[in-house]
Every structure is written in structure tokens, then in C-alpha cells.
Chains A and B, each alone.
Chain A
Amino acid sequence: MVATEPYKIVGTRPVRPDGVDKVTGRAAYGSDIKLPGMLYARVKRSPHAHAIIKKIDASKALALPGVKAVVTRADFREAGPGLIDIGEGPPVNLKFMLDNVCAGDKVVYKGHAVASVAATDLHTAEDALNLIEVEYEVLPPVMNVRDAMLESAPLIHGNELTGGLTAADMGKRPSNIANRVEFEMGDVDAGFAQSDIVIEREFETAMYHQGYIEPHNATALWNKDGDITIWTSTQGTFSVRTASAMILGVPVSSIKVVPMEIGGGFGGKIPVYLEPHAALLSKKLGGVPVKMWMTREEVLEATGPTSGTYSRVKIGAKNDGTLMAANVHLAFEAGGFPGSPVGAGAMCALGPYSIPNAFVEGFDVVVNRPKVAAYRGPGAPASEYAVESVIDEIAERIGMDPMDMRLKNAAVEGTRRPDGATMGVIGNVQVMEAIKDSPHYKSELEGENRGRGVAMGFWFNAGMESAAYATVVSDGTVALVTGATDIGGTRASHAMQLAETLGIPYDDVKPHVVDTDSIGWTGVTGGSRTTFAGGWAVYEAAMDIRVQMEERAAKIWEVDRDQVHYDNGAVHGPDGKVFSFKELAAQLPHTGGTISGHADVNPTTVGAAFAGHICDVEVDPDTGKVTILRYTAVQDVGTAVHPSYVEGQIQGGASQGIGMALSEEYFYDENGVMRNSSFLDYRMPTTLDLPMIDTILVEVPNPGHPYGVRGVGEVPIIPPLAAVANAIYNATGVRVRKLPANPRNLLEEMLPPEA
């Protein structure tokens, strides 16, 4: 593309524009909203995992002084058919989306919303919850994916879902299987027949939550003129607008979504939960603003974690390490409604490798757990954990260095994946080689009960729509407006790409994230797309400014348009005529007016991401407790626009992946009640549980982006599961095939079988 190295700003590490407000506590989050006359609301939730709602009686709650309104399903319009694509993850059926926001005839998980109540203060709203009487007919819950797939399993959605175990079975009879995907390439049976070694294993991963620190929140005002304003913490204001409009049955144009600062999302802050309740309560109250936010318990029990999974992976190889065939079976828990990320998991499962013969099938299965949402590389951590574990076992069996074996089979440009996609310019081999060359991989690991593991990860990354609007201010700065809610430092990465393109200092760009009425359609901040696609929009907006500045200079100088060109922060004309950006900016108001550049883009030339992690552990043989001694994450990051933020993304992803490997899990009792819905017992790793995560950035620029950007945010969560499991094997001789490998589970594997 146009941009060429060396860059002046891309690749540096400036301070983030939103930094001061965040460290001084001034940044405005959803819970900071306070409007005149505002009321507070809470959601009444199901105590049962699976039950029919017989009756809801809110009269006692409404009689409590201070209580102003109650919303139940009767206040929602009934949903027609329709699919909504809200961003990361498969499109969702409107009826199911509505049922998830407020239960219809049935509750399908503990914590499922059945009503909401607004009161003058939060405590009164909380008191009122116990006064809303709900009569249930309790049904047996189906808590995990394998039970739910049994023919004898209770049906969560009656006759509505009819997925089958084979392509031929699909649609034949009611089941809890909502969907089935299948990819096939080559001749799998022949591939296994030609293999010298074939290993087949089963794996399980737990349901995990993103664990963002800020709970979900929403404030809504349904004005008397029909205009609705929603202030919320979200990864995608436009997704909230679409989803809310469809649920409420109003035109999208009547809703304005104002993004507040967001305290983490990782995919989980894409769906709507509270927004429609707050809006309907506000409407019932005749245009009074209503504010809602969740407790941690609600966040864990009733938002969108990622699927618990079961997988079965069979891989065949030659004795020289050549991979010949793979058969991957994946079954993912969707939660109470269809829509697990099994499709993405299936696409990614074999991503780092070139395997001539492969069959991949995936099942989307409903269970009585919260409806899953996107979570960083949705589906891939589980599927690649299974594959990377089997690859490790094959390497060991044939006596080959695990990285050499991976290199021998590495996917390269042109490699076709089983799902049909062909790899573009990728840094897979470069990452593998960087691992082998790293001081960590070359070091000797000494000591008892210690072991090392490696694993690769692949994520395809996303493109999608983005918009940018940039105005040249007369003092020579640029006001940059985007619709991309800033979770991971994208105000900085956008401002840097704008400054680079215009050749002006980074500090002269003032980025702002604005509401849905103030910018073009912008997809979610998710899919590792925002620095890529948003950066592209910003680049085009800057190019738009450059062209207009050339035109303006030509007009001022009274020369031909094509005698003028923009270069390096200045406009150059004939005979050494030159305007610096600042000089020309100052002239704009009296030479025809202000210049703005804008762009709406929908780029598809996405660059895929590869990562490889090295992990050293020590396992206490008496307790099964795993200590991570050293951890290195290697990743092809395309171009590291802001290397510190790239490193931060990698460290954050690795930390979450380590949590999946070692400590996090949804723990349910036999009644389908989550027993660990607090950060005390839902064990995310703390700083004391992790070593410094060392990073090695490999830069193979994406030719499909002006600055070579590839998404970097998701892929680092993928390798840790297998890297840790492989390290535990190396330390103890125990192959961990059920995650998390917490002390309870690992000790069970290490102790002799019980008499």
C-alpha cells in the first residue's frame, strides 16, 4: 500500500490519550452516570436452572413504598422471526435473544432474568426483588454437553431444535443439538492408513468467564417523543442499537447509544442484557431515566461466558513426523440458547498445520447454563488445546523435538485449511523459528518436578465495518472521531496511524469515541479488528485530508492541482513553495473553510495471527499445585503499532489462557446452581500466581493493510492451555486431558487409583 517504512510514529510507545483520565479516576464509566430524577433498577432472576414459569405476581413489590415500576415479559412485544448479527460469533435468532433478555414461558439457567423493578434507590429495588412472586414448575436440568446430546436427555427447547449427530440425522427429531458444522479435505481414512502412528484422545475444558472487572451496566431514557438514549459499557454501540431496536420493536434511528468508558469486555460486552429492561422501565415511567448495573454474582451467572467443551481428536503421522490425517470432533455448550463458538473452534483447530487429510465436525448444544458469548478467540482455545496436546504426544512418541515436528508441518502461505480458506502471508514459520531461537527454549530446565511445554495457536482475525471522521483544527491539530469503543488502547493506535499518515506529531491528534448518531456504522471492538479496520478508516480519512489540503494549497498558490503534492507533514508546490501542516491549517478558515476527512471502510484483507508459547512449571507432588516458573509468548503481530500495548495484549491473553489451564471453572451442583459465583471462588490468576510473561514480537506485516497491521488481541489466549498441560506432563508424566488442572483435578490424576 502507500505507506512505507521507516515509520516515524508507528512502532513508538507514546502515552495513551485516555491515560490521565483513567489514572486520576476522572474517566466516566457507566456507573458514574447520574441524571436528574434518575431511578435505580434491579433484575429478578430465576433460582432454578430449568423450570416453567407458571405465574408472576408483582403486586406486593409494586405496593412497597419507593417502588415505581416492574417490567415482565408481558411488557415486551413478541418477537417475530429473524436473525441478528451483533458482531463476534454466529448470528442469533431474535426470539432466543429476547428470551435471554427476559424469560418467556421457561427459564433455562439459574440467574435467567424474569422481571425487573425500578425504585427510588437501589436498596428499595433490591427489597422489591423478594416481593415479586414467581411460581415455577421445576424441571430436571441438563448441565453438560455430553449429557445433553444423549437421546434420553430432557429437551430444553421442546421441539424447536432438531440437530443430529450426523449430516443425515439433521432435522429428523427434536434434540438439544442446535447445529452441526462439518469440514472435510482429502481422504481421511487413507491418511490414517498411511500413518505409522495414530493417537486418539478425549479432552474437556470447563466453562470460563471473561472476568472483566467492570460489571455490566446500562442507563436508559425513553423520552416522550419516542427518542431513546442508552448510556452503556459496550464493545459495540451499533450492536447495542441494533439489538435493542429489534427487541423493543422500534426503528434503529430512534435509539442513540452513548458509549461510556469500558472496564474490560473480551467479547462478553457485545450482547445486551440490561439495556432493554432499563428502556422499558423508563417508558413505563413516562420518560424517567433508569439506571441498572449487575453484581458480580449476576455477571457470572447470567452474562455470557465461553462454552464448556468436549472434544475427541485423532491424528496420524509418519515416523519422520509428517502429519498425515486428522479427525476432530468438537461438542460445545451453547448455554440456554443456541450459538456456541463451535464453528470458529472448528475452523481454527488445525490452523497452524498443513495436514492433507482432515475431517472436522462440531456440535452446538444447549444446556442449562448461561448463554455463551464471545470470549477472546472464541472456540479456539478449547479446540487447539486438544490438537496441540495430541501433537505433543506424537512428537514424544516418535522422539522428535516438539518444535521441529511443528515446523515440519507448519502452514505457510497458500496452505488450505479444512474449512476451505487459504492462508495468505502469515508468520507461522517465523514464530516457530523464533521459539527455537529464544533464550527460553534454548535454556536447560533443571530441578525435580519441573517440566516444559510448548504449544501453538492460530486465529483468523476479523475485518468488518469501521468509520472515521477527522477535522483539521486551525491550530494545526486534528480532532479524530471514531465509533470504536476503546478497550485495549485503540484511541492511541488510531491516533498514531492518523499522525503517521499526515506526518504530524502524535500529540496533535485528539481522538474521541462518539455515540451512534455522530459517526458512521462501526462494528464491535472485537475480533482483533479495531486497530486493523479502524486504523484503515483513519488512514483513508487522513488521505482524504491530504488530497483536500493539496487542492487548497493549489488554490492559494494559484497553481495546477497536479503541481502540488503532500509529503511528510507538508504540502509542496512548484518553485520551492511549501506549507507546513500547521501553516496551511491556519490558512484554512479564510481560504474556503475547514477541511475534514472521512472514511467508511469494510476491509476484507485480514491478516491471520499465529502465536507460540513456552511454559516452565513446577508441580508440588504432594498437593498437585502448579507453579509457573517462566513463560514466554512469541507472536506474529504484523506491525506493532504501539509495541507496549501489543505486549500488554499478549500478556493479558496469556494470563487468561493460564487461568483456563490451571484455575478457572464454572462449578455447578447437581441442581444446576453455580457454587462459585464470586471472584473468591471463581479463581482467576492473581499477580501472585503468574510470573512476568516475557514477549517476543515477530513482525510479518499484513500486505492487506496500509501499515501491515494484523489483529493481536485474541491469539495469545489460545496456546497457554496446551503449553501448560504439556509442561505438566513433562514435569509429572501425567497427561492432563481435563481442564482446569487445578490441584483438586491434578492430585486426583497423580494419586494412585482409589481402592
Chain B
Amino acid sequence: MQDVTYRRPATLQEAVQLLKDNGPTARVLAGGTDIIVMARERRRDTSMFVDIKAIPELTGIRFDASEGLTLGAATPLYQIYRNETIQRLYPCLVDSASLIGGTAVQGRASFGGNLCNAGPAADSIPSLIVLEGKARIVGPNGERTVAVEDFCTAPGRNVLEAGEILVSLSFPAPQPNSGARFLRFIPRNEMDIAVVNAATSLRFEGNNVVAARIAIGAVAPRPLFVPAAGAALVGKPLTDESIAAAASASRDAATPIDDMRGSVRQRKHLSYVLTERTIRDAAHRARGEALEH
């Protein structure tokens, strides 16, 4: 661990200024469950922590039936999965929020941190992608909005420019007959980074799937939005064949590496398996049915 300065600005402008003035070794601190570990292990050269949790826009949950859901980027996970509106309307966010870390980590960790950390295996990002999440960014040059699927650029890298802060994540209000699901595969039952993860959102009109978004993680340099997988489902009823086609599209899109967490073959195979499983579960949710597991 190096010597670091800790600052806790009360406004967004102050935070942006601190980041601008102190250069790349000034680090945004949300829950700190990634950045403190990295600083301690000297994987990130760090001179200052800019704690964003005292900035009003950065925490909190707002829902409006027409505007949809807005999450302050630093809102801790436990507030997300305990929120009744989210439980009812965005259970896929609960899937992600409730399996990142354990109770202690969930008291601190945020979706914003998970997204900005830009890990290929991050467990919130596939859910944020399939729910059409939009990232609101504020920086020295003003404000902009980026779709979550375009946010990460490479392992540990994202679109944020020097001094920019992710302020919030917003999601459209869910449509009738829609459902979404996130799953990950880990070798143990806890304490593992996803070998592969996946999320699917579906919307039905009558028997037909009219919209489908599928994203997979840990199989490419960044979490992967797979439009081809969704396209395989759209415009027809959900069948074993269409599910297999979508799952195959995921498998084909995956370009994983071989490492201590999984092999190429295993990860491609799991892309198929988890895509299939998330589609089936998302369909159950769209129909208002309870999941088996």
C-alpha cells in the first residue's frame, strides 16, 4: 500500500475538479471493493481517493412509471436488491446485485464500480446491457450519455476520459410481458469469479418474441452484447430450435482465453448453456411464473 490522500467532495463539480487537478493517480472511490484491493496490491498506482458517496446524485434509487429507473452509480448493492420496486420490476438486477460478493461486500459495492472497473467477468454488466442501461457521465467538458454495451473498451478500460465520473445508470420502464434473467457459472458455490456469465431479456406479444437482448461475460476482452443471439429469437414463438439457435450464436460470438479460471472449450460451451438457461428463465418471468431455482 502507498501513502494516499483521502477526499470526500460534496458536489459533482468539486469531484471533477479534484480528479482533473490530481491526474490519473487520483482514483474515484465508490464502494472501494475493487480499487482498495488493487491499490493495496499495488496493481494501481494511487495517490488520492476521491470518495463520491457524499455527492447526492451518486447514490439513491428513483423510479417513475414513464421515465423508468435511475440508480445513483455508487448506490450500494444491498439497497438495490432490497428495493421493492426493483424486486418487482427488475428482478434481473436483483440476480446480479445479490450474488456479487457476500453480505459485507454488498454493503459497499456498487453497480457503477462494477461497470467502471470494466472486468470482462463483471457480474452486473450483462444485466445492465440487456435491460438497455444508459450511463450518464459528467466531466470537465460537460455531460454525455453512453449505452452500457459501449461503455467498456478492454479489460480494466472504459470510455471515461480524464476527470469524468459516471453519475447514474438508467433503464426504461419494463414493458408488459417482458422478463429478464442473469446467471453465472462458478466452480464453487461462492468465492469465485464467473467462468462465464450471461443475461437475457425477452418481450412477448402473444406467443411471439418481439424483443430479445442477450449478453455474455468472461468470454471476450469486455462483456459482450450479442445482437445475433437476440435476433435468433425475435419474430417467432420460443421453441427448442430458436433457443438452440440463440445459444449457438452466443457460443460463436465468444472469443475466450484459456486461463486458471477456465478453458476456451469450457467457456464456449458454457456460453451456450447459460444463454439457453437464461432464455428459459427470462421467458418464465415474462409469463409471471416462478423460477425453479
| Residues of chain A whose beta carbon lies under 8 Å from any beta carbon of chain B | 123, 126, 622-625, 663, 667, 675-676, 679-681, 683, 685-686, 688-689, 742-744, 747-748, 751, 754
Q: In the complex, what residue of chain B is closest to A122 when comparing beta carbons?
A: B1
Cross-interface CB contact of B259 among A675, A685, A689, cutoff 8 Å: A675
* Further contacts, 18 of them, CB under 8 A, given A686-B189, A744-B263: A123-B1, A126-B1, A623-B270, A625-B187, A663-B188, A676-B260, A680-B192, A681-B261, A683-B187, A683-B192, A686-B188, A688-B188, A688-B190, A689-B188, A689-B190, A742-B187, A744-B266, A747-B269
Q: Which chain B residues border A685 with CB–CB below 8 Å?
A: 188
Known: A743-B266, A747-B266. A679 touches B191 (CB 8 A): yes
25 A/B residue pairs, CB under 8 Å, sorted by A: A123-B2, A126-B1, A623-B185, A623-B270, A623-B273, A663-B187, A675-B259, A675-B260, A680-B191, A680-B192, A681-B193, A683-B187, A683-B191, A683-B192, A686-B189, A689-B189, A742-B187, A743-B185, A743-B187, A744-B195, A747-B265, A748-B265, A751-B265, A751-B269, A754-B265
Residues of B176-197 contacting chain A, CB below 8 A: 185, 187-193, 195
Instruction: Tell me if B32 counts as interface (CB < 8 A to partner A).
Output: no
* Contact between chains at A686 and B190 (CB < 8 Å): yes
Q: In the complex, what residue of chain B is closest to A297 when comparing beta carbons?
A: B41
- Bound-state CA distance A624–B273 (Å) is 12
Give min CB distance, A122 to chain B, whole Å.
9
Q: Which chain B residues border A623 with CB–CB below 8 Å?
A: 185, 270, 273
Give min CB distance, B267 to chain A, whole Å.
9
- Bound-state CA distance A623–B276 (Å) is 13
- Bound-state CA distance A300–B193 (Å) is 19
- Bound-state CA distance A667–B187 (Å) is 15
Instruction: Tell me if B172 counts as interface (CB < 8 A to partner A).
Output: no
Give min CB distance, B5 to chain A, whole Å.
15
Q: Which chain A residues border B261 with CB–CB below 8 Å?
A: 681
Q: Which chain B residues border A680 with CB–CB below 8 Å?
A: 191-193
Give min CB distance, A126 to chain B, whole Å.
8
Q: Which chain B residues border A743 with CB–CB below 8 Å?
A: 185, 187, 195, 266
Give min CB distance, A754 to chain B, whole Å.
7
Instruction: Tell me if B9 counts as interface (CB < 8 A to partner A).
Output: no
Instruction: Tell me if B227 counts as interface (CB < 8 A to partner A).
Output: no
Q: Which chain A residues border B192 with CB–CB below 8 Å?
A: 680, 683
Cross-interface CB contact of A688 among B189, B260, B263, B265, cutoff 8 Å: B189
Give min CB distance, A206 to chain B, whole Å.
12
- Bound-state CA distance A210–B191 (Å) is 18
Q: Which chain B residues border A667 with CB–CB below 8 Å?
A: 260
Give min CB distance, B194 to chain A, whole Å.
12
Q: In the complex, what residue of chain A is closest to B263 when comparing beta carbons?
A: A744
Instruction: Tell me if B174 counts as interface (CB < 8 A to partner A).
Output: no
In this complex, how many residues of chain B approach chain A with their Cβ under 8 Å: the count is: 21
Q: Which chain A residues border B269 with CB–CB below 8 Å?
A: 747, 751
* Contact between chains at B266 and A686 (CB < 8 Å): no
Q: Which chain B residues border A622 with CB–CB below 8 Å?
A: 273
- Bound-state CA distance A429–B22 (Å) is 73
Residues of B207-243 contacting chain A, CB below 8 A: none
- Bound-state CA distance A751–B266 (Å) is 10
Q: Which chain B residues border A688 with CB–CB below 8 Å?
A: 188-190
- Bound-state CA distance A676–B260 (Å) is 7
Give min CB distance, A297 to chain B, whole Å.
9
Q: Which chain B residues border A676 with CB–CB below 8 Å?
A: 260
Q: Which chain A residues border B60 with CB–CB below 8 Å?
A: none
Q: Which chain B residues border A663 with CB–CB below 8 Å?
A: 187-188
Q: Which chain A residues border B2 with CB–CB below 8 Å?
A: 123
Known: A123-B1, A623-B273, A743-B195. A683 touches B262 (CB 8 A): no
- Bound-state CA distance A743–B185 (Å) is 10
Q: Which chain A residues border B273 with CB–CB below 8 Å?
A: 622-623
Q: Which chain A residues border B193 with CB–CB below 8 Å?
A: 680-681
Give min CB distance, B120 to chain A, whole Å.
15
Q: Which chain B residues border A625 with CB–CB below 8 Å?
A: 185, 187
Q: Which chain B residues border A679 with CB–CB below 8 Å?
A: 191
- Bound-state CA distance A751–B259 (Å) is 19
Q: In the complex, what residue of chain B is closest to A123 when comparing beta carbons?
A: B1
Give min CB distance, A686 to chain B, whole Å.
5
- Bound-state CA distance A742–B195 (Å) is 12
Residues of B237-293 contacting chain A, CB below 8 A: 259-263, 265-266, 269-270, 273
Q: Which chain A residues border B270 with CB–CB below 8 Å?
A: 623
- Bound-state CA distance A686–B186 (Å) is 13
* Contact between chains at A681 and B260 (CB < 8 Å): yes
Q: Which chain A residues border B190 with CB–CB below 8 Å?
A: 686, 688-689
Q: Which chain A residues border B265 with CB–CB below 8 Å?
A: 747-748, 751, 754
Choose among B190, B193, B261 the residue with the greatest number of A CB atoms under 10 Å from its CB: B261
Interface mask (B150-177 → A, CB under 8 Å = 1, otherwise 0): 0000000000000000000000000000
Q: Report, nearest first, the 10 A-B pairs whose CB atoms are least far apart.
A: A688-B189, A667-B260, A675-B260, A676-B260, A622-B273, A688-B190, A744-B266, A689-B188, A743-B187, A744-B263
Q: Which chain B residues border A748 with CB–CB below 8 Å?
A: 263, 265-266
Q: Which chain B residues border A675 with CB–CB below 8 Å?
A: 259-260
Give min CB distance, A466 to chain B, whole Å.
39
Give min CB distance, B278 to chain A, whole Å.
13
Q: In the complex, what residue of chain A is closest to B189 when comparing beta carbons?
A: A688
- Bound-state CA distance A123–B1 (Å) is 7
* Contact between chains at B191 and A686 (CB < 8 Å): yes
Choose among A623, A667, A685 the residue with the greatest number of B CB atoms under 10 Å from its CB: A623
- Bound-state CA distance A224–B13 (Å) is 60
Choose among B187, B195, B263, B273 the residue with the greatest number of A CB atoms under 10 Å from its CB: B187
- Bound-state CA distance A623–B277 (Å) is 12
Give min CB distance, B33 to chain A, whole Å.
13
Interface mask (B107-127 → A, CB under 8 Å = 1, otherwise 0): 000000000000000000000
Give min CB distance, A213 to chain B, whole Å.
14
Q: Which chain B residues border A126 with CB–CB below 8 Å?
A: 1
- Bound-state CA distance A624–B262 (Å) is 12
Choose among A126, A667, A679, A683 the residue with the greatest number of B CB atoms under 10 Å from its CB: A683
Q: Which chain A residues border B1 with CB–CB below 8 Å?
A: 123, 126
Give min CB distance, A533 to chain B, whole Å.
38
Q: In the complex, what residue of chain B is closest to A754 when comparing beta carbons?
A: B265
Q: In the complex, what residue of chain B is closest to A668 when comparing beta carbons?
A: B260
- Bound-state CA distance A747–B266 (Å) is 7
Q: Which chain B residues border A686 with CB–CB below 8 Å?
A: 188-191
- Bound-state CA distance A688–B102 (Å) is 12
Q: In the complex, what residue of chain B is closest to A666 when comparing beta carbons?
A: B260
- Bound-state CA distance A622–B1 (Å) is 43
Give min CB distance, A47 to chain B, whole Å.
14
Give min CB distance, A44 to chain B, whole Å.
15
Q: Which chain A residues border B187 with CB–CB below 8 Å?
A: 625, 663, 683, 742-744
- Bound-state CA distance A747–B265 (Å) is 9
Give min CB distance, B36 to chain A, whole Å.
15
- Bound-state CA distance A680–B260 (Å) is 11
Known: A623-B273, A675-B259, A676-B260. A683 touches B188 (CB 8 A): yes
- Bound-state CA distance A748–B190 (Å) is 23
Give min CB distance, B15 to chain A, whole Å.
27
Q: In the complex, what residue of chain A is closest to B272 when comparing beta carbons?
A: A622
- Bound-state CA distance A685–B195 (Å) is 17
Choose among B189, B195, B265 the residue with the greatest number of A CB atoms under 10 Å from its CB: B189
- Bound-state CA distance A744–B190 (Å) is 17
- Bound-state CA distance A625–B269 (Å) is 13
- Bound-state CA distance A155–B260 (Å) is 27
Give min CB distance, B202 to chain A, whole Å.
21
